[in-house]
Structure 1
């Protein structure tokens, strides 16, 4: 999407947590400018206090909506009415809908039918119809800040002792310093390389789990086949575009920071490095044939 695209962010505060707000805004900033920001709820409820603490700091307009009947909140309807008014009067390029409520599915479908992109944010329990209706849906439990890379200091006792080298005594000290510096640099580089921006391993799907997800396997294989050349090889970037045109898929929902990491983890594809940061994959079934 054009980085100058105008995005309207609508938050169902009654069915969302305020803890991930910074990450939601960060994701939307990659897609355009979130020029309209509104959160809907009955702000007299103590349960919404965490939201009240972050609204003003993030320039989000709170929309008060009292409950008209016990056990039900009227925020959903107010949010739908506002979304329709924005669609026809302000004409934003995209909407960000923060909710785990499937009742917004018809709204999302209508917004997309009128040409607007819709980016959904919700919990893993969000019903599938709402997730798949969105241009892209991100599960907030999988959305996390990249871990900071912390390099532990290397103790002198832990360093291997260099073999003695027959050199003039005057040159021995500088050589030892250079050797130690190189070892520390190598240790730091190895520690940094071991860090990733994927989700924690506890939330990352294993290869067996990925292969057992029939819908995921079918989608990846169909996308690879649709983007493949006559030899069966398909560029990962083309596969990603193919998938984005037909579903709300995001690899982070499975615990992997990028599509290529997911394709490697599922172990159903051959991987080929074509240079210039370009990778291609081929269905292993095609290779056997």
Structure 2
């Protein structure tokens, strides 16, 4: 069994800053990183704006945690989620946390969990403040979860020209390839992707309209791409090289 998928995860959702329409794809995404042993969602369920969550909670076995707003203008939901997260952290029964919110109030929580050696996967909209994104090991924008991962509409794809003009993206790839390459300048695509993820938690090829990393790097047309056979089987490994070299 894939060791990554046996990792125990605690999924904590801020109902005030998440959408029920993405929950199915969100949980499918989380399954890539491990098993959701705990699934909790926090909010004041007496409020009409959370009505859309009720059916979703039953279908996906997510435990609702009631949190009344004690003081007007203060978000008691955030405090309840943070307290529960720390209790779960101290239990030492989990390998990582999934924090679902676009709220920067969880920045310190994400940093604290990582200080304990656990992974933090963040999920939120593209409006999520940069400090919270940077505090996570990996951050997935929920907008990409609204599309079918295997069939992203071509109209949402950035063109080769647009990709080349994205200086941050180009720099990420060039630095990652340089750090992962052998003496000839060729680098296996997997460690390139891992290096990019460490430098930019929010990186995801789907943000640019491509479902796979290999598709994105081919579309950029700044790098040589080779598919090499692995062993005696049919599988192939992708290698890349900076054309400037």
TM-score after normalising by structure 1? 0.77
Query: Does 1:260 find its partner at 2:214?
Result: yes
Task: Report what 1:48 is aligned to.
Answer: 50
Task: Note the C-alpha offset of 1:144.
Answer: 4.0
1:170 is matched with none
RMSD: 1.7
In structure 2, distance between residues paired with 1:110 and 1:253: 27
What SS does structure 2 have at the residue aligned with 1:81? helix
Name the CA distance, whole Å, in 2 between partners of 1:101 and 1:205: 28
Greater CA drift, 7-16 or 90-99: 90-99
Query: Structure 2 CA distance, aligned partners of 1:202 and 1:128?
Result: 27
Q: 2 CA distance for matches of 1:133 and 1:198?
A: 30
Match of 1:247 in 2: 200
Deviation at 1:255, TM superposition (A): 1.7
For residue 9 of structure 2, give the secondary structure of its aligned residue in structure 1.
strand
1:19 and 1:241 mapped to 2: Cα distance?
Answer: 29
Which string of whole-angstrom CA distances, capped at 9 and with x for unpartnered residues, describes residues 1-30 of structure 1?
532111000000001100010111111122
User: What SS class does the counterpart of residue 225 from structure 1 fall into?
Assistant: helix
Tell me which residue corresponds to 1:74: 76
Pairs aligned (count): 237
Query: Are the aligned partners of 1:138 and 1:253 in contact in 2 as well (CA < 8 Å)?
Result: no
Structure with greater proportional strand content: 2
Structure 2 counterparts to residues 108-119 of structure 1, below 5 A? 108-119=110-121
Equivalent-residue separation in structure 2 for 1:241 and 1:21 (angstroms) = 26
**Larger radius of gyration, structure 1 or 2?**
1
The residue correspondences of 1:21-32 to structure 2 (distance < 5 A) are: 21-32=23-34
Q: How does 1:177-216 map to 2 (within 5 A)?
A: 197-216=150-169
- Unmatched 5+ residue regions in structure 1? 148-196
Pair 1:208–1:130, CA change in 2 (3 A): farther
Shift of 1:213: 2.2
2 CA distance for matches of 1:263 and 1:89?
42
2 CA distance for matches of 1:91 and 1:246? 28
- The more displaced of 217-226 and 24-33 is 24-33
- Label 1:113 to 1:198 Cα distance change in 2 as closer, same or farther (>3 A): farther
Check 1:129–1:209 CA distance in 2 against 1; reply closer, same or farther (3 A cut). Answer: farther
